[in-house]
Structure 1
Amino acid sequence: ALRVYGPAVGGPGAQPVASAWEVELPGMRLTLTLSPEPARGFSGEGAVLGDLASDQAGGDADLVAALLAWEPRVEVGDLARESGLTPERVRAALVRLGTAGRIGYDVAEAAYFHRELPYDTGRVERMNPRLRDARALLDGDRVTPDGDRYRVAGGGGTYQIRLVGDGTCTCEWWAKHRGGRGPCKHVLAAQMHARRTVTAEKEAVR
């Protein structure tokens, strides 16, 4: 049997999307995953950058990793109960572990599974230059709240960011891809700033 997995697409003129093609054989399944275009790799698509950018993701990933036990199926609910984290934070931690080669995802089972590949955790930043650049913008005080928007000073000027939905930006990169390849570094920096602000406000109330 042949099965194809991927996001829903529109009609004529729709943009190409990633897909996974699965062939079921006696005693095994063979899966071939294809990127949207030959020149586009998976690491640069940016769909998980928001999870990777979370200030909590690193510590949460360490906690979740300690609870993994080579189970063929990793249940988010079980990890949430054992770790005391919310399911959303567990999923973000699993994204980080997946990028580091410590968690895989089975599209047929729609579930994560434990694995250990010989990757180092530092590759998360190296594989995602937008994440690295966003951290530099944030740490360099280039992000400024401006009412319901943010202003981010980049190398080519100052950009206006709105965090409605997945976020929008006035930079050339966002105008070209319009969120189809994840957030630009300016949107990502603004999202990180917003999360830090919320965290600081919660800490101040305690």
Structure 2
Amino acid sequence: MSDIVYHYQNPSVLNKTAGSDELFLSKYSEVQKKDVPCFFWGKLKDPYTTSRCLITLSNVVQSSFNLSPFQLAMLKDPIVTAGNEKIRFEGFSHCAGVYARVDILPDGHDGEFPGNGTTNVDFNQPMISALSSVSKAENVVLSVGKKEVAIAKEGQKIVERKVPLPTKWIKGLASVQLFLADAERVFTFNRIQTLQLFQSLPNGKPRTDYYLIMRGTKPSFSPVKSGNGICIGGVHRLRLLEPLLPLATELRVFAQPAMQSVTWQLYFGAVRFSLSISRDAWRGFSGEGAALESLIEDVPDSWIDAVDKFSYANHEFNPTLLSIEEGLDLKKVENITGRLSAMGLLGYDLDENHFFYRRLPFKLSRILSLNPRLKDAEKLLEEGKVAITLQTDNRVEAKVQGSGVNHFVVLEGENEKCTCTWFSKHQGERGLCKHILAVKKKLIS
């Protein structure tokens, strides 16, 4: 990517005080989001593998593990992002408990990027049929535009038009990217090991958790935990990967430290396929609330707007680098990251270890509308229903008025407890309850 040079009328200023720091970014009107009709146009260098990955992605999007047929009809197909010499196709299962992505890397295409942008299309049967018939020696041209995605081959052109991006997906994008950012690579398998592993995949839909374990050099799925095994709920969902296994040269497995998600990344040269599954088959990423902790502290809208423009210009967002270069506290950078993620603007690349940028409509109002627990917490504060009853250096106790009952919150170090039914049921695994959120927000207000 060529260097981008900005000219500022005034310098940015960082004011530091004993308890906080404030960054005032100089306005850079030179960074304007271009309204271009085409984001990418060019040939695919490995059209056969790419088409098989896109078919598998479509299978993920058409699958469901806990929704009714009526709910299935309400959701659509892939999100497509072009920029930084990469094309990314993303999608969720209908229940939002499985997230998949196809990354076409710079060596996987021969084309041009007139601009960077994101669109959302519906892969209908003509597109699936065209992808299914792609041969290894065939020339395939892909185009990604503001209002459509198209492939052309042997005089045939299939066009898919833009459709609305489901709200459920925006909520899922926020949680899954933050889980990915926390994930660590645990296993790497070659093709033979990968095929051996999936031969041990249990039949049917197991009702219990399974574990990915090693027996010598041979990996397998087992209902019994041993050693450093990875816990996998709803292991049958991994069958979505089976059509791609014979083509992959490598499989890498990444686990979120608390096992709230596990990501399976297959490699095909300049093409990657990622599949992330939630902790249980009935749990969707859209309801996990992973971003709530970073949304507690308010961040000026001007900061969010400035970082959004910075991310758009550079096609990526590196929180650690921003913290170092601008002298910002890591907690504030986490808040900015959480807000951009909550609006669906950030994805995460495990191999490159940083966020990439999606160009979606920039709406700060999405943060509250897509996070009802945060909205409810603010309402509790506005109505004066939160009272701090004890506050010491390492312990906070509070009383929160509910509907006919008082809830009691205790914050002690990294441990957080509440007497509400949400906390009793989930024990903090699906994000903070509204009462803990309200107490934490009151402490910093």
Tell me if TM exceeds 0.5: yes
State the match for 1:103 in structure 2.
Answer: 346
State the match for 2:374 in structure 1.
Answer: 131
Q: Which one has a bigger Cα radius of gyration?
A: 2
Alpha-carbon distance in structure 2 between the residues aligned to 1:83 and 1:177: 38
State the match for 2:428 in structure 1.
Answer: 179
State the match for 1:43 in structure 2.
Answer: 286
Per-residue CA deviation, residues 145-204 of structure 1 (Å, 9 max, x unaligned), is 1013111111241111112224211112111111111211100100000111xxxxxxxx
| SS class of match (2:253) | strand
Select which of 235, 255, 278 maps to 1:6: 255
Deviates more, 1:94-103 or 1:80-89: 80-89
Q: How many residues align?
A: 190
AA aligned opposite 2:279: P
* Stretches of structure 2 lacking an aligned partner (at least 5 in a row): 1-249, 392-396
State the match for 1:19 in structure 2.
Answer: 262
Deviates more, 1:69-78 or 1:126-135: 69-78
Q: Could you tell me how far 1:84 is from its partner in structure 2?
A: 5.0
Q: Could you tell me how far 1:131 is from its partner in structure 2?
A: 0.9
Alpha-carbon distance in structure 2 between the residues aligned to 1:58 and 1:50: 18
Select which of 355, 359, 362 maps to 1:112: 355
| SS class of match (1:91) | helix
The structure with more strand, counted as a fraction of residues:
2
2:324 is equivalent to residue 75 of structure 1? no
Per-residue CA deviation, residues 105-128 of structure 1 (Å, 9 max, x unaligned), is 112222112221246432322222
Distance 1:116 1:69, change over 3 A: closer
Deviates more, 1:186-195 or 1:123-132: 123-132
Alpha carbons 2:388, 2:398 under 8 Å: kept: yes
Distance 1:144 1:59, change over 3 A: farther
Select which of 405, 411, 418 maps to 1:163: 411
Alpha-carbon distance in structure 2 between the residues aligned to 1:25 and 1:96: 33
Alpha-carbon distance in structure 1 between the residues aligned to 2:404 and 2:268: 53
| SS class of match (2:399) | strand
State the match for 2:329 in structure 1.
Answer: 86
AA aligned opposite 1:53: I
Distance 1:166 1:129, change over 3 A: farther
Alpha-carbon distance in structure 1 between the residues aligned to 2:312 and 2:355: 12
Distance 1:81 1:150, change over 3 A: same
Alpha-carbon distance in structure 2 between the residues aligned to 1:166 and 1:106: 30
Alpha-carbon distance in structure 2 between the residues aligned to 1:178 and 1:101: 26
Alpha carbons 2:291, 2:341 under 8 Å: kept: no
RMSD: 2.2
Moved over 6 A (4+): none
Which TM-score applies when normalising by structure 2? 0.40
Distance 1:180 1:50, change over 3 A: same
Which TM-score applies when normalising by structure 1? 0.81
| Percent sequence identity over aligned pairs | 34
AA aligned opposite 2:346: I
Q: Could you tell me how far 1:27 is from its partner in structure 2?
A: 0.8
Q: Could you tell me how far 1:82 is from its partner in structure 2?
A: 5.4
Q: Could you tell me how far 1:69 is from its partner in structure 2?
A: 4.5
| SS class of match (2:314) | coil
The structure with more helix, counted as a fraction of residues:
1
Q: Could you tell me how far 1:26 is from its partner in structure 2?
A: 2.1
Distance 1:43 1:17, change over 3 A: same
* Stretches of structure 1 lacking an aligned partner (at least 5 in a row): 10-15, 197-206
Deviates more, 1:84-93 or 1:172-181: 84-93
Alpha carbons 2:381, 2:442 under 8 Å: kept: yes
Alpha-carbon distance in structure 2 between the residues aligned to 1:5 and 1:100: 25
Q: Could you tell me how far 1:43 is from its partner in structure 2?
A: 2.6
Distance 1:58 1:6, change over 3 A: farther
| SS class of match (1:62) | helix
Alpha-carbon distance in structure 1 between the residues aligned to 2:399 and 2:341: 32
Distance 1:118 1:35, change over 3 A: farther
Distance 1:59 1:50, change over 3 A: farther
Alpha carbons 1:57, 1:93 under 8 Å: kept: no
